[in-house]
Structure formats: C-alpha cells, structure tokens
Amino acid sequence: MNKTAINKKINRRNAILSGNIYKIILTLAIPVMISNFIQSMYNLTDTYWLGKIGTESQAAITLVSPLQNILINFGAGITTAGAILISQFLGAKKDKDANSMANHICVCSLLFSLFTAGICFIASPAIVHWLGAEGNLYAYGLTYIRIVVLDLPFLYTINLYTSVKQAQGDTLRPMLLNLFGVCINLVLDPLFLIVFKWGIAGAATATLLAKVPCAIVAFVILHGPNQLIRIRLKGFRFDSSKVINIIRIGLPTAIGGSTMQFGFLLMTRNVSVFGKTALTAYGIGNKINSIITMPASGVGSAISTIAGQNFGAGNLKRADKSYHIGLRIAAIFLAVLGFILSRQFVAEPIVRFFTSDETVVPLSVDFLSLMALWCWNNPFYNITQGLFQGSGHTLITMTVDAARIWVFRFAVLFICQKVLGMGVESVWYAVVVSNGISALILYLMYWTGIWKKQVVRVRN
C-alpha cells in the first residue's frame, strides 16, 4: 500500500477536523456544485436534443423523470447512509470500521439496484399509463423509462464511489468521473438522435451507455491498493450491527427522497391536465431551477461531510460553526444570483436555449423567474439538511421532505387552483411557497439543538 497516498487522505481528514473552515467548505462544495451541474447535463442534454425533434418527446421525459428519480433517490438512501457513517467513523479514527461499512454499502446498493431495475422494467407500462399518457406520449415515455432503468446498477456504483470519496473529504475525483460520463453523453446524444434518428430511445441509450465506463472506473479505483477506504468483496460477510445502522440512517433518507419524488410524480400528473405545452414548460423550468439551486446543494453536501467527521470526533462546536459559515456564503450568493436570473430579459434567452416553441417559452419564463427570485431560501433548507444528515438525524429530514410535497405543496396547489382559480400558475406558486415553508421549519428545528443528539455510537 502506497503510504504517500494514504498520508494525503489522512491530511485531508485533519484539515476537516482542524483546518480553515472557509477553505474547507469551498474546497468541498465547489467540486460538488460542478459535479451536480455535470450530472444534470445528462437530462439537460436529452432535453436540448429532443427539443430539436419535437415537444412531445420533451413532454415524455418530463412525465416519466419523477419515476426515474424515485428509484434513484431510494437507492441514494443507502449510499447517503454510507457517506454519513463512513465520515463519522473516520472522524472517530476508526478506519477499519469505515472500510467494513463501505463494503456493506457496496453489496446492499448493488443487490437493491438489480432488484429495482427488474421490477420497474416489468411494471413500467402500467405506471406510464397511470400517469395519464396516451398515444405517442405513452409510447415515448415507456420507451425512455424502460431503457434508463437499466442503468441503475451502474449509477449506484458511481454513487457508491462518490459517497466513499466525499466521506473522506474528496469531492474533486467524483466531479472528474461525472465529467467523463457527461462528455460521453454529449457525443452519443446527437449521434443517436440526429445521425441515427433513434428518437427518444437514442436519448435513453446514450444516458445508459455513458454510465457504464464510469461505473467500471469507479469500481476499479475503489479496489485499488492505495485507498484509505477500499472495497474488498472476497470473503465478505454481513455484520448485523452495520446493516441495522444502514437501515436506521439510510431508510429515512430513502423513504423521504422517494416519497418526495412520488409527490413530484403526482405534481407532474396535475400539470399534465393543462396539456403538453404546460408539461414541457414545467419540465424546462424545473431543470433550469435545479442548476440555480446547486450552490445550496453543494454547500449542504460539504456541511454534511464536515459535520459527520466532526460529530464522530466529538467536536460539535466546529460542526455548528461550519454550518453558520456555509449558510451565510450560500444565502448571499443565491440572493444576488436569483435576482439577476429572475429578470425576464435574462430568463427568456435561457429558456429559448431549450425550446423554440413560442407557446412554451412564456410559461417557462414565468416559472423560472418566480423560482429564481425566491431561491435565496434554498440554503436554509439544503444546508440545515446537510447538518442534520451529517449528525445522523435523517428521520427529521425525511419528515420535512415528505411534508414539503405532501402537505404544503398540495395544500397550496389546491388553494391556488380550486379557490383562487389561478390555472397553471398555481403549480409555480405551490413549488415556491412549499419550499419556503419547509426551509423555515427545518431552520427553526436547528435552534432546538436536536441535531446534537447522537444517533449512531461510533466513539467508545
């Protein structure tokens, strides 16, 4: 084993536990932001090229994407648990336990991905039909979802690599791996859609094939001899205590994320009653908004890693200080960025990059402008969520995640649509108001100090 490589990883851990907080937050957060942007490029690339061949194809992706995200988020619960538990073990300097946990996460996530991909492939016709799709919309949606679910084992392997590296404070290498994948997708999308004319099947196939080499690279690296946290499946045996901890930490994240995505699925169904134009506008607005909120998500991930390691080391004061610094950085940045992007003369050219349909553009611009103006409250949600997750309190984040969609969003949607008669704009306001309420609740819960309570015992 290369001692120099191991020492670098140990030095990174020491920096998280005692180094300059501003530097650590930015060092961790910026690669995560870039990685999230790169990850979103898979769908954005599909949206862009499908926009060249018709609105129906874009609407089909918008219709079935929440189903895809349900599967992704449920599996992400396992790898999120891994990142939290590994970081806490590393903070407590229990590297052997951290390695054992990584192996448990690997086996659990791969088994789950194979099972889920098979079930979804079989059930997808009934699900797409339940979403209200008919004719070409049904055919396109079914084709897309049946191909992209096959990438789940590869995606979960990539997520495992990201979790293991992020727990150690390395967010740069996962970013480079995602960049590799999206470069492949950028080449395959126009090749399959425009040259080979495979339509929506080409977009899905490009997404699938782009993940295969990334998963192989990730698996090989995690088996490397120079890794502080290394995957070794030979002679693997389940440890009941570690499986229980994965369930205790990961299940709330999985249920919360999947429940939230199922809510998105129902929201999409509500939008679809306004027609394909509204559905396409909703999809474009959501994809652009996911980019706007990446700074909050990136800093939230950084805080999760910092909080996890410092929680494992018993240094709650440093975890708390990191939270406040990260919150200030992200909130100020997004307040300025959101104000700029909410201006119509800025929002419209961005929307027109994804569609030339003159009936879609004004709806997308209105949605994007409203979300951008209020995106400053996202850090209060994402970064507080990062603190709670890093300390292992995923049950709290699950509850707030579920309430955000199932209580606040649908309640606002009902009031705007049925009481105020706002039409499709009711969807835009339901998204913004529910996000704001949830951010406020999570932020108030921080002040109760409940996040300081130990969930998993990693210190003697």
pLDDT tens-digit series, residues 380-389 = 999 999 999 8
What's the chain's length in residues?
A: 460
Give the chain's largest Cα–Cα span.
67
Which residues make Cβ contacts (< 8 Å) with residue 345, sequence separation at least 6? none
Inter-residue contact 62 to 268 (CB < 8 Å):
yes
Confidence band for 4, pLDDT divided at 50, 70 and 90: low
At residue 422, φ and ψ (nearest 5 deg) are -85, -10
Task: Provide the 10 A C-beta neighbour count for residue 87.
Answer: 30
pLDDT of amino acid 448: 94
pLDDT of amino acid 460: 53
The residue with greater pLDDT, 24 or 236, is 24
For residue 56, is pLDDT > 80? no
Closest CA to 159 of 252, 96, 81: 81
Integer Cα distance of 229 and 224 in angstroms: 9
pTM of the model as a whole: 0.78
Express each pLDDT in 406-444 by its tens digit: 889 889 988 988 888 887 788 888 888 999 999 999 999
The mean pLDDT value of the chain amounts to 84
Average pLDDT (181-194) is 88
For residue 354, is pLDDT > 80? no
Counting residues of the chain whose pLDDT is more than 90, the rounded percentage is 22
Express each pLDDT in 306-325 by its tens digit: 998 898 888 999 999 999 99
For residue 2, is pLDDT > 60? no
Which residues make Cβ contacts (< 8 Å) with residue 281, sequence separation at least 6? 360, 363, 364, 367, 424
